Amino acid sequence: MPLNQPVLTKRIPTPPWGDPRDRKTVSYEQFVATGGYVGLKKALAMEPKAVIDLIKASELRGRGGAGFPAGMKWSFLPPEDGKPRYLAVNADESEPGTFKDRMLIDFDPHLLLEGIAICMHACRLDVAYIYIRGEYHQQAVTLNNAVKEAYANGIFGENSILGRIADRWPQCHVHRGAGAYICGEETGLLESLEGKRGWPRIKPPFPAVAGAFGRPTIINNVETLAMCGPILDFGVDWFKSMGKGRGENVPPSVPASFGPKLIGVSGHINRPGVYEENLGVSVKTMIEDYCGGMWKGKKFKAAVPGGISMGVLGTAEYEAELDFDIGKKYSCLGLGTAGVIVMDEDTNMVSVARNIARFFAHESCGQCTPCREGSGWIYQLLCRIEAGDGTTRDLDLLLELAGSMGAMPGTTICGLADGTNWAVRTIVNKFWDDFEKVCKKSNTISLPVVG
Amino acid sequence: MAWIMKNSAGMTVPRRTEPYLDDELKAKLEAEVMPRYPTRQAATLPVLHALQDKHGWLPFQAMEEASAFLGTKPSEVADTASFYEMFHLQPKGKYVIWVCQSISCELRGEHDIVKAIEKKLGVETGQTTPDGKFSLMHAECLGSCGSGPCALVNDKLFEDLTPANIQQALDSLP
Ligand SMILES: Cc1cc2nc3c(=O)[nH]c(=O)nc-3n(C[C@H](O)[C@H](O)[C@H](O)COP(=O)(O)O)c2cc1C
Ligand code: SF4
Ligand code: FES
């Protein structure tokens, strides 16, 4: 069943409810006139802990990539000690194929600010930093204007409706990055916020215990926070009536995929853009019902489900459901950001792999050898294969190299290398013929690889 | 590539008497930016952005002045500045063109856009035109994958590019 009303896109004209050409930035007045900040008022009438419990009960999962339950994250904070505690809003959005947070910031920035205020109240955080990627010049201006409006209307600053938090008036600031994908990784973001290079930290300690400036810090994605206002306003049952939910006889301890999701679709389709649908909608529905079908009437070949770190879906996986279980079901890394990249029958998957490997080689921060050296090596191998100079042995090497890197195999500090790993392995495995076709048979016999 | 270090041994820093971080800018930063952070070092990125907005790039002297302002070592500022793609440690053209080369844009024809720009400007990616007007750069995903191919020219985004409309767009820049 399609979503029966727009939630995050309530004020952002989006098909089937509106025309993207009518999109305009919603001001504070317009936001309030259309039911904005009601969720915040309801939150303020509740004890902070009750707000956390409510978000927990809604089973809202992070929209920034990992799908970690937001309410659970919020409950990891240590007890208050009167010293500063921070909220770092992740607006670094740099994963190829992902452009959803930008839409929220461009057109409905107060929806994000409402979520920020709710989180600050619930978690007792007195300063929020919105870490926005440096390339989002215009968006930083829009956001700064909205923050100014929010201060002027008593959301933040002196006499804020949040009241004093740890005896200080709550503050919200926009902090611009300067062009580094790795600053989207939560601890890379914190390092960058502290004025250093964006080198991810070894965990533990986790940010909830020792984050920005060594103090307890919550890090959430823009879309995750934007979802909080509507949940507070319309309730847990309303939120859980949307999305995939839990199958029958599945115990409540198994995480499910409730709620609506922004899905950005790009690549070989007729109407690329950001749409809103229930979690669990299929790739096929997105392409055919929302995106006007495949570009130039070509056939579907492959799709990235949620940003290139997640790997690819094969030609036979056209009907894959976009929910948090997609990884297990279709052997990819996960839903990621739900930034779907569609590729048609003429696409050369060797070139796709080469492009993606270059991204990771370029964006590796360089701390961990498997990621720094491995990604560059993989990129060179793929360039060679693309040029027609590869051998089938190179393909084995490619898979071995890719499979060895990442935080999941335990060889690197952060998840960037897992992205390299999954992207390369799934493309090569699912489109083996594309690669084998352009590779010569190896004329040396390789020793069997042990382990 | 953030982790390739520069050869700094024996390098001399060109200097001028007029400061890059002048009193007016200092006062503005002190009033608007510094109170936001619990440490002065945290203002490194905003300070570097302000300096680059004013001068077009970040000479070493500017970074030294920033370090004095931020209460850090000059090497710490240089360390941070050299990590980020958007900070220029060399002078750049008046307009810096960043063409997205990531996957969604490549699928929609990024190669043709780059070729058209290279032909029009007579430079290769990474170079600046002899008149100092344009620098052509490659960027990774600019976050507008749905309207690719796209390019950022200084702070303005150009979307749905074709070889024809990018040439027009560049012609329209003063
Ligand atoms: C290499 C890398 C890049 C990431 N980039 C982003 C990003 O741009 N935006 C984002 O929200 N999360 C990003 N994440 C995920 C964050 O680390 C973090 O999980 C997320 O911001 C938490 O927010 P959420 O729980 O609300 O999703 C990235 C993770 C990794 C490993
Ligand atoms: S995995 Fe890669 S990006 Fe992550 S910390 Fe290690 S080197 Fe840096
Ligand atoms: S891939 Fe070009 S903007 Fe995202």
Section B28-48 average pLDDT: 98
CB contact under 8 A, B106 and A267: no
* Range B2-9, long-range pairs (CB < 8 A, 24+ positions): B2/A180, B2/A182, B2/A197, B2/A365, B2/A366, B2/B82, B2/B83, B2/B84, B2/B85, B3/A364, B3/A365, B3/A366, B3/A367, B3/A372, B5/B82, B6/B82, B6/B89
Q: How far is A157 from chain B (nearest CA, A)?
A: 12
B146 and A274: CB-CB below 8 Å? yes
| Residue of A296, A389, A275, A385 lying closest to A339 (CA atoms) | A275
Closest CA to A122 of A201, A57, A63, A176: A57
Q: Which of residues 67-126 of B touch A (CB under 8 A)?
A: 70, 72, 76, 79-80, 83-87, 98, 101-104, 106-108
Residue B173 has a pLDDT of 94
> What is the 3 state secondary structure string of A376-441?
HHHHHHHHHHHCCCCEHHHHHHHHHHHHCCCCCCCCCCCCHHHHHHHHHHHHHHHCHHHHHHHCEC
Of B102, B140, B143, which is closest to A102 when you measure between CB atoms?
A: B143
Please tell me the predicted confidence (pLDDT) of residue A249. 85
Length of chain A: 451
For the entire predicted model, the pTM comes to 0.96
What does the pLDDT read at residue A448? 55
Say if the Cβ atoms of B84 and A134 lie within 8 Å.
Answer: yes
Write out chain B residues lying below 8 Å of A158, CB-based.
Answer: none
Given a contact cutoff of 8 angstroms between Cβ atoms, the answer to whether B93 and B134 are in contact is yes
pLDDT number for residue A95? 96
**Cα–Cα distance list, A327 to A240, A250, A321, A336, A349 (Å):** 22, 18, 10, 9, 20
Helix (H, G, I), strand (E, B) or coil at A17: coil
Rounded distance between C-alpha atoms, residue A288 and residue A80, angstroms: 51
Question: Which of A186, A372, A378, A408 for a ligand 2 pocket mutation test, highest count of atoms within 8 Å of Cβ?
Answer: A372
Contact A299, A269 (CB under 8 A): no
DSSP bridge pairs for A128: A87, A172
Residue A260, strand partner residues:
A278
Cβ neighbours for A401, distance < 8 A, ≥ 6 positions apart: A374, A377, A378, A381
Task: Determine the Cα angle at A179 with ends A309 and A141, to 5°.
Answer: 115
Q: Which of B46, B108, B143 sits opposite A136 (nearest CB)?
A: B143
Cα–ligand 1 centroid distance for A184 (angstroms) = 5
What's the confidence (pLDDT) of residue B12?
A: 76
How far is the centre of ligand 2, averaged over its atoms, from the C-alpha of A365 (Å)? 5
Which atom of ligand 2 lies at the shortest distance from residue A369's CA?
A: 7
Distance A221 CA to ligand 1 centre (A): 7
How many angstroms is it from B102 CA to the middle of ligand 3?
5
Q: Mind listing the pLDDT tens digit for each residue in B90-105?
A: 999 999 999 999 999 9
Chain A, 77-116: which have a CB under 8 Å from a chain B CB? Answer: 84, 93-99, 102
CB proximity under 8 Å: A 139-178 to B: 171, 173, 175-178
Task: Tell me how many residue pairs between chain A and chain B have CB atoms under 8 A apart.
Answer: 159
* pLDDT, tens digit, 9 for 90 and up, residues A375-386: 999 999 999 999
What is the reported pLDDT for B60?
A: 94
Residues of chain A with pLDDT under 50: 450-451
E-state strands within A256-394: 257-258, 260-267, 273-278, 300-304, 339-344
Nearest CB among B3, B46, B145 relative to A97 is that of B145
pLDDT for B2 beyond 70: no
Reduced DSSP (H G I as helix, E B as strand, rest coil) percent helix, strand, coil of chain B, to 5: 45, 10, 45
- Pocket probe for ligand 1: among A95, A123, A176, A225, the residue whose CB has the most ligand atoms within 8 Å is A95
A341 to B107: CB separation less than 8 angstroms, yes or no: yes
A356 touches chain B (CB under 8 A): yes
Query: Is B84 within 8 Å of A339 when comparing Cβ atoms?
Result: no
The better pLDDT of the pair B61, A245 is held by B61
* Residues in contact with A75: Cβ distance below 8 Å, sequence separation at least 6, in sequence order: A52, A56
DSSP A68: -
- Rounded CA gap, A319 and A305, in Å? 11
The verdict on a CB contact (< 8 Å) between A194 and B39 is yes
Query: In the structure encoding, which two tokens stand for residue A284, read together?
Result: 């096929």
| pLDDT confidence of residue B83 | 97
At residue B1, the pLDDT reads 45
User: The complex's ipTM?
Assistant: 0.95
